[in-house]
Amino acid sequence: MQAITFEADIVSEFLRIPNFEQLKNKHVKVVIEASETQISDIDSCFDRFHYDLASQPFNRDEANAR
């Protein structure tokens, strides 16, 4: 059995699972532990803005030359 642990701030009914592909089409057991601390309103505001940079080319040498 494989265990993957991660933390997340829940701001909607959806939860983003890291490394989703390795769990795809497998039976999993999900356990949710809630902490007593709450995220701030500013954090929940910025959580709405997600931009996937995976498709953007990045050249470290070119970036350092700027």
Token digits for 50? 């997600």
Does the pTM surpass 0.75? The reply is no
Answer for the pair 5, 39: CB distance below 8 angstroms, yes or no: no
Encode pLDDT of 9-50 as tens digits.
777 888 888 888 888 888 888 888 777 666 666 666 677 777
